[in-house]
């Protein structure tokens, strides 16, 4: 899993969002960033997680949080995911796996006896100074927002 620790400077990422616009961590200097990595658009767990963040998005915004999702899906896949579930936040298309590798969340996984490489669901809470305040290594897809608010009061 990730080599990063709480207190580390967050790796400065740069990637394309669902509309092909370049987004970087430096764009959010002075803000609290919820950077969540998830395996795949439209899958049950990823949909539950995204919808939980969507349903609580106004509350997160009021508290000054920026929400950014990252997966290795394409921009087109993200567009469909956003449209179908009315997601109000940015999703980064990390098809070349640069960001997932920077954050150490891509690697061997196992499901139902099958071993394969993929994205480990992980959420990084990055403070206003660009430091990793918290790492949620096993996000609760149904209650992701509650986990965030519990850690970041």
Looking only at the bridges linking them, the beta strands covering 65-71 and 90-93 are parallel
Active-site amino acid positions: 46
**How far from 150 is each of 82, 124, 134, 137, 145, CA to CA, in Å?**
26, 14, 11, 15, 9
CA 97 – CA 38 distance, rounded (Å) = 12
The DSSP 8-state label assigned to residue 95 in this structure reads: T
């Amino acid at each position: 899993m990730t080599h990063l620790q709480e207190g580390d400077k967050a790796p400065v990422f740069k990637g394309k969002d669902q509309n092909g616009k370049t987004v970087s961590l430096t764009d959010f200097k002075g803000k609290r960033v919820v950077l969540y990595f998830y395996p795949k658009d439209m899958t049950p767990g990823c949909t539950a997680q995204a919808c939980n963040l969507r349903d609580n998005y106004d509350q997160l915004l009021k508290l000054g949080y920026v929400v950014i999702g990252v997966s290795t899906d394409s921009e087109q896949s993200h567009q469909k995911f956003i449209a179908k579930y009315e997601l109000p936040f940015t999703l980064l298309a990390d098809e070349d796996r640069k960001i997932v590798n920077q954050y150490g969340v891509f690697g061997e996984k196992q499901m139902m006896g099958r071993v394969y490489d993929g994205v480990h669901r992980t959420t990084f809470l990055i403070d206003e100074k660009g430091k990793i305040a918290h790492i949620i290594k096993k996000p609760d897809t149904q209650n992701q927002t509650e986990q965030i608010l519990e850690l970041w009061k």
